[in-house]
Amino acid sequence: MADSFSLMQEQYTKILKKYLEEKNETGLYHAQQFSKKVLENQISPEEVVSLHLDALEKYFPDLPQGVFDSFEFLLEVMMGYGMAYREHQSLRDKQKELETEINVAASMQQTFLPKEIPSVDALDVGVISVPASKMSGDYYHFIKDDNDCIGVAIADIIGKGVPAALCMSMIKYAMDSLPEQRLQPGALLDNLNRVVEQNVASNMFITMMYGSYDPRVHHFYYSGAGHEPGFYYHYDTDTFEELYAKGLVLGIKRDTTFREYHKKVEPGDFIVLLSDGVTECRTDDGFIEREELTRLIRKYKHLPAQEIVDNVFYQLEKLQGFQLRDDFSLIILRRKV
């Protein structure tokens, strides 16, 4: 460090002398280059003044004493800047540390989400889930039971970022600890609600839609806990219908019960589940309408389910200037024709 400082001192003296002799643009350019180096080497402002003073003493010893004294004075003044500069440095280090920790947490959170989507012959499934920042408040889950029934959950945890992520781990573990055999959607939400109600702060809540697809009879059973409605697409009439299951959000009332709904799924029909980040997509002209979303899905409906959700995400992301305001999750389950 001491070495590099004396090197800097030497260099500063050299470029200052050259500038005073030639007084041209090149000299100023050297000064700019030098200031970059100063920052790189974390040299404080008062040390720069001290470099200047040393150079003057060396090359212009005949200057009036007052000039030297004035630089001593300036040096004192710059001390404050130096302190602020060092504080800034230490904040930057701390910020880097925090960022690293959040990155670790974010990659841990990724492990909460299913690594692969279970496949059954009857269904074509597409999933996309993109957080607005590093940590997500959206959660989804797939299970396949011994009868090849596919259980699918989509949940939105209030808020974003770290608190939401912590809450998500609770949902994940609660779902993992549910009995192995297939649970009816209503009963599953009853169970989860009890866990959530006991374990969240008073202003936290979770919305969830849980559905179970039975490929033997092609029925989709579902229940909702205050979750943003999805869509049901009828292949034969080429129409969308709102897929909504009324129910109170999780975590409010201990003894809430959830009604179960069901749909008979015909070949080509599909179920769209989403988080409110999809429908609350906000552009310069205000919020998008739900019709805008069905228009987009319709536009890509000839594609495989995964390509539909990817394309819809891309189009909506584009509408928002590639800056998501909320976590975005979209799931499509289609009965193959």
Partner 1 sequence: MDLDIRTEEKNGQDILYVGGEVDAYTAPQLRESLKPLTEKDIPNVIVDLADVDYIDSTGLGIFIGALKSVNANEGSLKLIGLNARVKRLFSITGLDEVMDISEEREEAK
| Contact code string over 227-246 relative to partner 1, x by CB under 8 A | xxx--------------x-x
- Contact between 207 and partner 1 per CB under 8 A: yes
Stretch that binds partner 1, among 57-65, 86-94, 248-256, 299-307 (CB under 8 A): 248-256
- Contact between 47 and partner 1 per CB under 8 A: no
| Contact code string over 275-314 relative to partner 1, x by CB under 8 A | -x---x----------------------------------
Nearer Cβ to partner 1, position 94 or 253? 253
| Residues of this chain, 93-132, that bind partner 1 according to CB under 8 A | none
CB of 176 to partner 1, least distance (A): 25
Nearer Cβ to partner 1, position 159 or 215? 159
Nearer Cβ to partner 1, position 146 or 285? 285
Nearer Cβ to partner 1, position 145 or 276? 276
- Contact between 160 and partner 1 per CB under 8 A: yes
- Contact between 189 and partner 1 per CB under 8 A: no
- Contact between 225 and partner 1 per CB under 8 A: yes
Q: Return the residue of 189, 204, 309, 332 that touches partner 1, per CB under 8 A.
A: 204
3-class SS letters over the chain: CHHHHHHHHHHHHHHHHHHHHHCCHHHHHHHHHHHHHHHHCCCCHHHHHHHHHHHHHHHCCCCCHHHHHHHHHHHHHHHHHHHHHHHHHHHHHHHHHHHHHHHHHHHHHHCCCCCCCCCCCCEEEEEEEECCCCCCCEEEEEEECCCCCEEEEEEEECCCHHHHHHHHHHHHHHHHCCCCCCCCHHHHHHHHHHHHHHHCCCCCCEEEEEEEEECCCCEEEEEEEECCCEEEEECCCCEEEEECCCCCCECCCCCCCCCCEEEECCCCCEEEEECHHHHCCEECCEECCHHHHHHHHHHCCCCCHHHHHHHHHHHHHHHCCCCCCCCEEEEEEEECC
Using CB under 8 A as the criterion, which residues of the chain lie in contact with partner 1 when the complex forms?
156, 158-160, 201-205, 207, 225-229, 244, 246-249, 252-253, 276, 280, 326
